[in-house]
Amino acid sequence: MTEQVAAIVGTGLVGRAWAIAFARAGWEVRLWDPVAAAPAAALATIDGLLADLAAQDMLNGADAAAVRGRMASAATLAEALAGAAWAQENAPEDLAIKRALWRELDALAGPSTILASSTSAIVPSRFTEGLAGRARCLTCHPINPPYLIPAVELVPSPWTAADTMARAEAVARGLGQAPIVMKRELDGFVMNRMQGALLEEAFRLVAGGYCTTEDIDTGLKDGLALRWSFMGPFETIDLNAPGGVRDYAQRYQQIYERLFPSMQRRVDWSGPVIDRIEQERRARLPAEDLPERHRWRDRRLMALLRHKRNAAREIGS
C-alpha cells in the first residue's frame, strides 16, 4: 500500500460515517461530493459526532481533534483520489449514477488504488464490468454507521482479483471492522438477505394478526437477539443441543420443516399491514421524537459495544 490516504466519494450519511472510521484508524481522509457544500456540511456533522465518540471512548484512544485533523475536503474528485490507497464510493443507490461515477473513478484513480462501493444491494459486476481496472474494484457494504457497527461485507465481482480481496480484508481489519469476505457476488449479499428473511416473517406475522409489532420487537431484543449479539445463529444452535449442530439439526429440523410451507407466501409491505405497523409504532414513538430516538439508538449502541469489548476481555470471545 502506497500511503494511508482514503478518498470518501459522496459525503452523505454513509460517506461521513466512513470518514470517521478511516480517520480514527490513522488514515488521512479526503472528502469529495458533487454538491460543493456537502463535504463542509459532513465535516460539521462529524465535529458533533466526534465529541460524543470521544466521550464514550470510541476513538481508539485518539482525541477528537487529532481524528478531525486527518480529514479535509477535496475540491475535485481527482484531488481526492491523488495518492489514495482506498476510495470508498457512497453515491445514491442508483445504478445509472454508480455506472457513470465508476467510469470516472477508474479513469482517475492510480492503478494500485482499491475502489470500493458502499452499495446496499447492487452487485459490483453491474457497475464495474467495462472498466479497465475492474480487478481492483469490489463492494464494501457497511451497516450504518460503520464506526459503531463493525461488520462489513466485502463482495467480489467475477473479475475482482484475489489480491484485491486480500488487501481489502487487511484494510477492513486495520480499521477495526469485522469483514465478511464473500466468495462470489449475490443480490442482497449476506446481511440484507438474513435481515430480509426476518423482516418478511415479521410482516407476515403482523399481517396475519398473530401478534403486534411490539411483540416482534420484544421477541428479538429480549429474546433471540440477546444471544445473537455475541454468538450468531450457528453458534447458538451448536450450544442448543447436547451433541452440537448436527444433533440440533436432527432433533429440530422437523419443527422448522413444518413451518416453511406457510412462510413462502409473500407479504406486500406497502399493503394494509403497513398502516397497522405505522399506527402501532407512532403510538409508541411520535414522529417528532424520531430524531432524538436516533441519538438514543447511537448511545445504546455505544454502550453495547463497550460492554461487548469488556466482556470479550474479561470472559473471552
Using CB under 6 A, pick the residue from 1, 2, 3, 34 that binds ligand NAD: 34
For residue 291, which amino acid is it?
Answer: P
Looking at 13-21, 46-54, 231-239, 246-254, which segment touches ligand NAD (CB under 6 A)?
13-21
- Looking at beta carbons only, is 90 or 160 nearer to ligand NAD? 90
118 or 128, CB closer to ligand NAD?
A: 118
Report whether 155 contacts 189 (CB < 8 A): yes
Residue 67 CA to residue 94 CA, distance in Å, equals 31
Helix (H, G, I), strand (E, B) or coil at 277: helix
Give the shortest CB-316-to-ligand NAD separation in angstroms.
31
Q: Phi and psi (nearest 5°) for 301? A: -60, -45
Provide φ and ψ at 198, rounded to 5°. -70, -45
Closest separation in Å from C-beta 31 to ligand NAD: 10
User: Of 123, 266, 251, nearest to 184 (Cα)?
Assistant: 123
Task: Give residue for cell 445504478.
Answer: 95
DSSP-derived secondary structure for 131-160: -TTGGGEEEEEEPSPTTT--EEEEEE-TT-
Strands 86-89 and 71-73: unpaired
Residue 205 CB, nearest approach to ligand NAD (Å): 25
Q: Could you tell me the CA-to-CA distances from 64 to 23, 48, 52, 54, 55 in Å, in that order?
A: 10, 10, 9, 6, 9
Residue 33 interacting with ligand NAD (CB under 6 A) = yes
Residue 38 interacting with ligand NAD (CB under 6 A):
yes
Positions in 77-96 near ligand NAD (CB under 6 A): 90-93
Stretch touching ligand NAD by CB under 6 A, among 118-126, 172-180, 200-208, 242-250: 118-126
215 within 8 A of 187, measured Cβ to Cβ: no
Minimum gap (Å) between residue 119 Cβ and ligand NAD: 4
Backbone region of residue 2 per phi and psi (left: phi > 0; alpha: psi in -120 to 50; beta: other values) = alpha
**83 contacts 110 by C-beta, under 8 angstroms:** yes
Pairing label, strands 71-73, 5-9: unpaired
CB nearer to ligand NAD: pick between 56 and 120: 120
Please tell me the distance from the alpha carbon of residue 58 to that of residue 206, in angstroms, as a whole number: 37
Direct distance between the N- and C-terminal alpha carbons of the chain, in angstroms, rounded to an integer: 31
User: Which of 5, 6, 7, 14 lies at the binding interface for ligand NAD (CB under 6 A)?
Assistant: 14
* Number of residues located near ligand NAD, criterion CB under 6 A: 23
**CB 81, min distance to ligand NAD, A:** 12
User: Least distance in Å: CB of 248 to ligand NAD?
Assistant: 32
Amino acid at 24: R
Q: What is the nearest approach in angstroms of ligand NAD to the Cβ of residue 16?
A: 8
Q: Nearer to ligand NAD by C-beta: 48 or 261? A: 48
At its nearest, how many Å lie between ligand NAD and the CB of residue 34? 5
Half-sphere exposure at residue 275, Cβ-oriented, CA atoms within 13 angstroms: 2
The smaller minimum CB distance to ligand NAD, of residues 76 and 279, is found at: 76
- The only residue of 43, 101, 152, 175 in contact with ligand NAD, by rule CB under 6 A: 101
* Contact positions with ligand NAD (CB under 6 A) in 138-177: 141-142, 144
* By CB under 6 A, residue 135 contacts ligand NAD: no
Shortest separation between residue 104's beta carbon and ligand NAD, angstroms: 8
Would you count residue 124 as binding ligand NAD (CB under 6 A)? no
Binding site for ligand NAD (CB under 6 A): 9-15, 33-35, 38, 90-93, 97, 101, 118-120, 141-142, 144
